[in-house]
A and B are shown apart, each in its own frame.
Chain A
């Protein structure tokens, strides 16, 4: 399916070089209008109150970049007469890629298992791996709600918060261990998923998105202000670290190293956390794959395709949607309690709307419904995000820009084709353009 790039319709009909220059000049002029006041004049505090400081260098750079970029694009990608096929992948190739994913999946899992044991792997890489895997898990969890059931949830981070706070509070007040709290956190998150999900299920897509956003914010504000339970903005610290099924990772005689006759190393705990989140993520993946082949999973996808037809076939849309919400939320709950035990400290700061947007972006950019695409998107986004740590000022702005550009390039995400849950003779990938994305 050819996509229309952001090319001016006029620019593509005029064929000459001067036209391209003229168009780029207009764009540069607009850039000047946009950037001159915002970037060139900066109010700063002085003894006389706010005064404007002039900074014309960034404006000049911005205008030059826009002019050069637009000119270059006009002469290459947006050249008049060029068939516009940005982001187009032939269906056959796409099917091949989807088939490749079947081999790449196990390969990637093997790589993930082996990675920390490789001789050249540093501690930093394992830490990064833990972070990436947390987002892979969150992405897969949200994928159930957004990708399969087609319910647009912008408040997913709320369930992540419920999981984290459940573990922190249960451990703090009742002294329960991580392994008891993990399922409890999942159940509590699922419970909240049902509570918040129930009233909003009748809403259509955009409205559902905004209400879930509101719910996410409400939960965060409550966590922020409910001092005597949650510690407010100070959060909860001293959350117990995980134990190896009861054996602590410490130097003591009963510690992990001593028990197994190893030399004590702080790396043991990191490794344990890494394999823990890997196992949790793979569990999410396994359950999702199973669910897709069960009637409930098919009902989710059918719901995404056509809700009215579902009702005519005797599918209870309310409970079907609620299960999607609850199961998606429970995985966020698991991930949340993992997050709490890894950090040892949580505060509402970690559960802002940006996190929800990030997880949703992983799902949508990866390709809704595609487990493989979501994993790739999580690795690329979170990994990329961390690699650019030194340019932390420019990370978020780039992130926002990349979101816009990827949507323009491939509105359906990286892997857009759908693989059928069952087949008679031959499993054929279904082109993304046929797959609906849900209405509510």
Chain B
């Protein structure tokens, strides 16, 4: 029981991180219908940005943790968003309306580029960061079992929920969200009606990258290490989450992230750590085969 509750908490934390990355996949797939293969690497860039900005703040003497984290959050979001924007501008926009495979290959190329760019610029060694947010809480001592929740875990879940709420409002209520949904439905029609399609798509990438950088910051705080290779596996899992939840659906991405986080944690806890990625990849395959529209997605009807 104790073990189970502990794993539940760990799973929810991990799931929040996957969910934040998954939103980037789901929004981009919804609007341009492509898998942004480089998104996992944008997340990795985000984690590095968070680390660098944090160290820079420490270097200039800002050591009050809440303030530092807030500044890190905002600056890392902005810098990573710039990466997201540039990736779209260079690798995807020239290929819009081109053959279906071209953007995918271009995205794989971009992913390889980003990984090696970061490796070259930052070195191949992992970067360990001592805990920034120490401490935690214990529950259940009176009932005879002990479950730990660290402050980092609380921070991750709360931040995720807050950002989720903000972005849901943006997509549901603002004109940007309306433009996004219009482009999802019919890009040509949207542009005829005066929606700036290029700008809307750019902003979608910017939003996705910003959320990925938040996930990067959370990852850094939670695990305390980053390296240039974390993007690939995290990316595939987050994509799995997006598909599981129903691609194109924001709540779906969050739900999918949560489920993938839980499955991975419980699989590692009760079966085997070595095969935890196999669990995630198998779920991806199973979901796509038996439930291709995901949990909250709209089914696709074959037109004859």
Contact = CB atoms under 8 A, between A and B. Distances in A.
Interface of A: 3-6, 30, 33-35, 37-39, 41-44, 49-52, 58, 152, 199-200, 202-203, 205-207, 209-211, 213-215, 217-218, 221-222, 224-225, 308, 353-354, 357, 360-361, 364-365, 368, 393-394, 396-397, 399-404, 407-408, 411-412, 437
A34 B49 contact: no
The residue in B48, B110, B116, B302 that gathers the most chain A C-beta atoms within 10 A of its C-beta is B116
A37 B128 CA distance: 18
Given A43-B122, A50-B128, A394-B120, 18 more contacts: A41-B56, A42-B121, A43-B51, A43-B55, A52-B59, A152-B101, A206-B34, A206-B100, A221-B278, A225-B275, A353-B232, A396-B116, A400-B109, A401-B113, A407-B91, A407-B103, A407-B109, A412-B102
A37 B77 CA distance: 13
A404 B52 contact: no
B113 A397 contact: yes
The residue in B56, B108, B117 that gathers the most chain A C-beta atoms within 10 A of its C-beta is B108
29 contacts: A3-B98, A6-B90, A38-B49, A39-B121, A41-B56, A50-B127, A50-B129, A58-B121, A203-B289, A206-B33, A207-B292, A210-B243, A210-B288, A213-B236, A214-B285, A215-B281, A221-B277, A225-B275, A397-B117, A401-B109, A403-B109, A404-B91, A404-B106, A404-B109, A407-B102, A408-B106, A411-B101, A412-B102, A437-B99
Contacts of B59: 51-52
The 5 A-B residue pairs with the shortest CB-CB distance in the complex, in nearest-first order: A403-B109, A400-B113, A400-B112, A411-B102, A214-B281
A52 B55 CA distance: 6
A200 B284 CA distance: 11
B129 A203 contact: no
A214 B45 contact: no
Contacts of A412: 99, 102
Nearest to B125: A45
Contact of A396 (B99, B112, B121): B112
Contacts of A361: 105, 108-109
B281 A402 contact: no
B52 A37 contact: yes
B12 interface: no
B86 interface: yes
Given A43-B122, A58-B121, A206-B35, A38 B48 contact: yes
A94 B274 CA distance: 51
B13 to A, nearest CB: 23
A404 B102 CA distance: 9
Contacts of B146: none
B173 to A, nearest CB: 30
Interface string B85-104: 01001110111001111111
The majority secondary structure among interface residues of chain A is helix
A6 B198 CA distance: 13
Contacts of A393: 120
B304 interface: yes
A437 B83 contact: no
Contacts of B52: 37-38, 41, 43, 52
Given A214-B236, A437-B101, A357 B281 contact: no
B235 to A, nearest CB: 10
A211 B278 contact: no
The residue in B35, B106, B115, B130 that gathers the most chain A C-beta atoms within 10 A of its C-beta is B106
A49 B285 contact: no
Interface string B60-83: 000000000000000000010011
Nearest to B111: A400
The residue in B114, B285, B289 that gathers the most chain A C-beta atoms within 10 A of its C-beta is B285
A33 B105 contact: no
Interface of B: 33-35, 45, 48-49, 51-53, 55-56, 59, 79, 82-83, 86, 89-91, 93-95, 98-106, 108-118, 120-123, 127-130, 232, 236, 239-240, 243, 274-275, 277-278, 281-282, 284-285, 288-289, 292, 302, 304
B56 to A, nearest CB: 6
B148 to A, nearest CB: 25
B95 A37 contact: no
Contacts of A209: 35, 104
Nearest to A368: B101
A393 B116 CA distance: 8
Given A217-B281, A403-B106, A34 B112 contact: no
B284 A214 contact: yes
Nearest to B83: A34
A218 B129 CA distance: 31
A411 B281 contact: no
B142 to A, nearest CB: 38
Contacts of A206: 33-35, 100, 104
A407 B105 contact: yes
A5 to B, nearest CB: 6
Contacts of B109: 361, 399-404, 407
B82 A30 contact: yes
A160 B53 CA distance: 43
Contact of A360 (B53, B102, B105, B118): B105
A405 to B, nearest CB: 8
B94 A4 contact: yes
Given A393-B120, A411-B95, A6 B281 contact: no
Given A213-B236, A411-B102, A6 B122 contact: no
Given A38-B49, A152-B101, A403 B121 contact: no
Nearest to B277: A221
Contacts of B118: 38
The residue in A43, A152, A218 that gathers the most chain B C-beta atoms within 10 A of its C-beta is A43
A104 to B, nearest CB: 25
Nearest to B304: A308
Contacts of B98: 3, 411
B152 to A, nearest CB: 18
